[in-house]
Structure formats: C-alpha cells, structure tokens
C-alpha cells in the first residue's frame, strides 16, 4: 500500500506478511506478543504512524525500523503497541498485603538506618507507584527523611510523562481510601475536576524509562518488585526470563507481586515461595521447588 506523504490515513490494510513483520519487530524490541486478534488494532495504530512520518508504505516503514535508520520513530512505534490500562488500588489485596506483611519490617529496617528499594516495573500512568508511596507514608510519615526509594519504570515515554505530572481526574481517586485522598492529594488550581499528588508522595518516587526486555541499568537489589499486568503481554520465553531476572534482582528476603492472571513458570518456580495471592517471596533455598506451577 502506498500513500502520499502528509496524507491522513484512517486505516491501512495489512497483509499476513506485514502483520508477521510488525509483530516480529514489536517482539524483538519489547517482548510484547501481538496475537493475530490484535490485527485491527495494529492496522489502526500503524495508519497513524504512517501519516505522522509520511513514510509511503508499511514495507518501507518496517525496513527503516529493521535497519535502524528510523531512530526517531522507535519510541513512537513502541508506544503504539503498549497497553496502559491501570487504576488506583488495582488488585487492592496487594496493597493490604504490603501494609500488613511486607512494609512493616522494611520500615523498621529503614528507621535503623537501612536502605529500602521498591520497584514498580511497568508503572504506566503512575497510579501503582503513587499507591505504593501512600502505603509507605501511611506507615512511616517520615519516609522522606529515610533511605526509602521507589523506582517507577515503563518503556512508554508518553505514559511516563503523564505519570510524572501526578495529575488525575478526581473520579480516579474514588478507589482509594478517603484518608489517603485527603492526605496525599492537593487540588489543582483552575481545574476543579482534577487532583494533584502532593510533594511528600512525589519525593519518594523516581520515574525512569526502562525496557524490561533489555539490559537493566542498575546493580543494586530490590526489597520489593511490583510488576503486575505487564508480563501477560509478553511471549512465554520473555515471561520466563523476566521471572528469573526478578529472582536475581530481589534481596534475599525480597517480595514479588504479579498480576492475578500471571504465573511463575515451572522453570523458575524454585526461586520463589508463595507469600499471598499472586505474591511471592524469594526462596532462601532455591534448590527446592517452592511454587508448584502457576498460582
């Protein structure tokens, strides 16, 4: 299919071969497994990118990405195929588990001068990371004075930019306990239907772009990794490698939270013990099988 540069395309028709090529590029760059039923979505998003770049055909577009001659386009291409759906307090049993089981000993450690690192991996528009910050501050109002940090990462730069604003429609905070809304949000002047996360919660979080399917730019370990509803979009080898790498990235007593429809594969089950509903603690003796199948 050819079109004139600058022409606005509502949709493109993609052949089987084009779909396979696009899906291959997305998989190699991100680990995301685009299933055939996503074809209409792929066509619509591709149409937007062809219009925006003025590139004349799907084939040429793919060739440029494959040859690395479209560096400016890579992040737009990736952003087009991510799914950013999220909300405050999603799978709220995780936040209850954090508050009752995982955070209290970590905070005790931080109060004795220790270091606490929490990673919201695949944080999307930030609700998960801010929710974790609220949970920390509920238990430890002085957290900003201690060595407690939350890394919030995502591959998608557009959504990260939104996360960093910390601005949300008032109605989005309906899921949160009322006290947290009172304590951790300010009104946003001039926009009565919006709230802004306040500074004490923001100060705990560093937002960074990070591709879970590439090298990770840190050596330190995490006490908690929360990676929910991200691996579900990956192909199985990428999922398996992610669980193994999370096992390596956790401290000896580290805890991993995953999405309700995700599961640790048998190759990595020995790395973790079940610690709750889709919650896993690193297995101190990882020679024994601790997790049977998925949970």
Ligand X SMILES: C[S@@+](CC[C@H](N)C(=O)[O-])C[C@H]1O[C@@H](n2cnc3c(N)ncnc32)[C@H](O)[C@@H]1O
CB of 226 to ligand X, least distance (A): 7
Per-position DSSP letters for 189-255, written without gaps between them: TT-TTEEEE-HHHHTTEEEEE--TTS--S--S-EEEEEE-SSGGGB-HHHHHHHHHHHHHHEEEEEE
Grouping H, G, I as helix, E, B as strand and the rest as coil, residue 185 is strand
The CA distances from residue 255 to 106, 116, 188, 295, in Å, are: 11, 12, 35, 15
128 is an annotated ligand-binding site residue: yes
Per the listing, tokens 């003025």 go with: 54
Per the listing, tokens 């959504």 go with: 159
**CA–CA dist 93, 148 (Å, integer):** 22
229 is an annotated ligand-binding site residue: yes
Strands 194-197 and 272-276 turn out to be unpaired
228 is an annotated ligand-binding site residue: yes
Interacting residue ranges for ligand X, rule: CB under 6 A: 30-32, 82-86, 90, 122-124, 128, 154-156, 159, 211-213, 228-230, 233, 259
CB of 177 to ligand X, least distance (A): 18
Task: Determine whether 45 is an active site residue.
Answer: yes
CB of 34 to ligand X, least distance (A): 12
CB of 128 to ligand X, least distance (A): 5
CA-derived radius of gyration, the chain: 21
211 is an annotated ligand-binding site residue: yes
Return the half-sphere exposure (C-beta side, CA atoms, 13 A cut-off) of residue 277: 9
Nearer to ligand X, 115 or 162 (CB): 162
82 is an annotated ligand-binding site residue: no
Marked catalytic residue, from 21, 27, 117, 154: 154
Nearer to ligand X, 31 or 263 (CB): 31
Catalytic residue numbers, as ranges: 45, 154
Binding site: what residues are annotated? Answer: 84, 86, 90, 128, 154, 211-212, 228-229
């Amino acid at each position: 299919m050819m079109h004139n540069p600058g022409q606005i395309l509502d949709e493109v028709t993609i052949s089987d071969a084009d779909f396979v090529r696009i899906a291959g590029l997305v998989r190699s760059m991100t680990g995301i497994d685009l299933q055939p039923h996503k074809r209409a979505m792929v066509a619509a998003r591709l149409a937007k990118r062809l219009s925006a770049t003025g590139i004349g055909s799907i084939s040429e577009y793919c060739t440029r990405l494959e040859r690395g001659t479209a560096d400016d386009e890579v992040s737009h291409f990736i952003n087009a195929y991510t799914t950013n759906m999220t909300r405050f307090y999603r799978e709220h049993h995780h936040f209850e588990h954090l508050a009752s089981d995982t955070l209290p000993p970590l905070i005790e450690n931080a109060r004795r001068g220790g270091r606490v690192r929490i990673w919201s991996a695949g944080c999307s528009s930030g609700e998960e990371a801010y929710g974790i910050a609220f949970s920390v501050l509920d238990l430890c109002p002085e957290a900003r004075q201690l060595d407690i940090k939350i890394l919030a990462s995502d591959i998608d730069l557009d959504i990260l930019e939104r996360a960093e604003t910390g601005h949300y429609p008032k109605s989005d905070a309906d899921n949160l306990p009322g006290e947290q809304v009172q304590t951790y949000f300010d009104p946003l002047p001039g926009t009565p239907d919006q709230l802004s996360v306040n500074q004490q919660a923001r100060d705990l979080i560093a937002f960074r772009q990070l591709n879970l399917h590439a090298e990770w730019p840190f050596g330190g370990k995490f006490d908690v990794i929360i990676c929910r509803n991200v691996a579900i979009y990956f192909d199985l080898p990428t999922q398996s490698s992610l669980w193994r790498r999370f096992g390596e990235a956790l401290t000896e007593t580290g805890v991993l939270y995953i999405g309700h429809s995700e599961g640790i594969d048998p190759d990595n089950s020995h790395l973790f013990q079940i610690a709750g509903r889709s919650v896993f603690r690193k297995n101190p003796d990882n020679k024994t099988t601790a997790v049977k199948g998925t949970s």
